[in-house]
Amino acid sequence: MSRFGAKKGRKLPGAEFSWETGEGGGENDTAPTPLFPKYHVPRARPLTPHEQIQVDQYRSLRERFHDGPYYSVLDSATSSAKKESAARVHFDPFHGMPSYSGKYQKKMRTLPKLAGREYVMKFFPKELWQTIQPSFKPDAAMDGYVLRIDRPGIRRGFEDDEDEEDDEAGKKGKNAEEGDAENEDDEREVLDPDEEEEEIMDDDFEDDDDDMGGDYNAEQYFDGGDDEYGDDGFGDGGGGGADEDTY
């Protein structure tokens, strides 16, 4: 107390501003909020028998859904998770190894199983008909279209790598499909597959560039520049000179 020469009986500095409020009993505005305020946790009432029936019905229906043909999970086999990265990283070395009792384990579908029941085709959009009924053969006018989705129909689930390749093919096919004139699209696909690839990108610059006809391309700004100027630096302005004119 007396270490800093403080007089006895004096309050510590700032003590006159107490947190306690005179009347009302309410908290002062400037007071710190209590760390562990009393908190009344509401508890749910126990279920009535009627509610229990409802819950049981919900659960049994859900179980039927889960056992049914449509329940499907996304696992590492999705195209978004590449084999090398996610699937490997998230592998569980303790439980992931195949064991004998694994044969009793519930099998998770990664794809809804459509076969095994009848469907009313007219309720579905045309582009899904092939998926629903693999034997379905549409008329000749749409031949090219059908051939392309025919491939995924034959595939099996476990052939992952081929899956992805096929997907790539299917994707291109899909893009080709987008255009109205199919033949033209097909030709273009053959000639210039890269351009097709670009088409699904939302923010592609290439197309805009072509349309606008300007020669400025922000995406190529560094790419083009780096190479050229790098060469310039070493090769003392050999081929770079020609390019310099355009910039």
Partner 1 sequence: MASQYAAELCALLVEDNFGELFARIFSILQRYDRLSFPRLKFYSRLSDRQLRHGLAAMIQHHLIYHYTSYDEGVTYYEPNPQAAYYLVRSGKILAFIQDRLGKYAATVMSTIMLLGHAQISHLETLPELRSGQLEADGINDDHEGEGAGERVNGHNVVGAIEQPALLHPTLKTLASHGYLIRVRDAQFQSYADNALDAERAIKSRPDVKQMKGKRLEETVLEGTLAMLREKLDGDLTRGLMHNGLPRGAKRRPGSGSADKSARMDYDMEDEAEEENEWSDDDMGGDATPMESGIVIRVNYEKLDVALRNRRFLDLAEMHASSATAQVYECLLRRIEYQTKQCRDSVEIPREGEEGEQYSVAIALSAVTEEVDPQLDLAGSIGPMEIQHSVSKRGKRPLDEDGVNGTSHQDSDAPSRTYEIDQHLSLLSQPPYNLTSKRVVSGLITWTVEFRHLARKLRHLELERVIEARYGDVALRVIRVLHAKGKLDEKRLQEISLLPFKDLRQVLASMQSGGFVDLQEVPRDAQRQPSRTIYLWFYDPDRIRDSILEDTYKAMSRCMQRLRFERSRLKEFLEKTERSDVKGNEERYLSPAELTLLGQWRSKEALLLGEITRLDEMVAVMRDY
For residue 233, what are the CA distances in angstroms to 61, 165, 169, 230, 240?
A: 72, 42, 42, 5, 10
**H helices of 68-126, where?**
88-89
Q: Which is nearer to partner 1, 124 or 221 (CB)?
A: 124
| Backbone φ/ψ region at 237: left (φ over 0), alpha (ψ -120 to 50), beta | left
**Are 79 and 164 contacting, i.e. CB atoms less than 8 angstroms apart?**
yes
Binding mask of the shown chain, residues 152 to 181, with x at each position contacting partner 1 by CB under 8 A: x--x-------xx-xx--xx--xx--x---
Q: Which is nearer to partner 1, 30 or 105 (CB)?
A: 105
Distance CA 82, CA 88 (A): 9
Q: Is 56 in the site for partner 1 (CB under 8 A)?
A: yes
Q: Is 85 in the site for partner 1 (CB under 8 A)?
A: no
Distance CA 198, CA 206 (A): 8
Query: In the window 220-239, what residues touch partner 1 (CB under 8 A)?
Result: none
Q: Which residue has the tokens 């595939």?
A: 155
Q: Is 28 in the site for partner 1 (CB under 8 A)?
A: no
Q: Report the residue from 16, 118, 161, 245 that binds partner 1 according to the rule CB under 8 A.
A: 118
**Are 130 and 153 contacting, i.e. CB atoms less than 8 angstroms apart?**
yes
User: To the nearest whole angstrom, how small is the minimum distance from the Cβ of residue 22 to partner 1?
Assistant: 16
Query: In the window 183-202, what residues touch partner 1 (CB under 8 A)?
Result: 200, 202
Q: Give the footprint of partner 1 on this chain (CB under 8 A).
A: 44, 46-47, 50-66, 68-74, 78-80, 95, 101, 104-106, 109-112, 114, 117-120, 122-128, 131-132, 149, 152, 155, 163-164, 166-167, 170-171, 174-175, 178, 200, 202
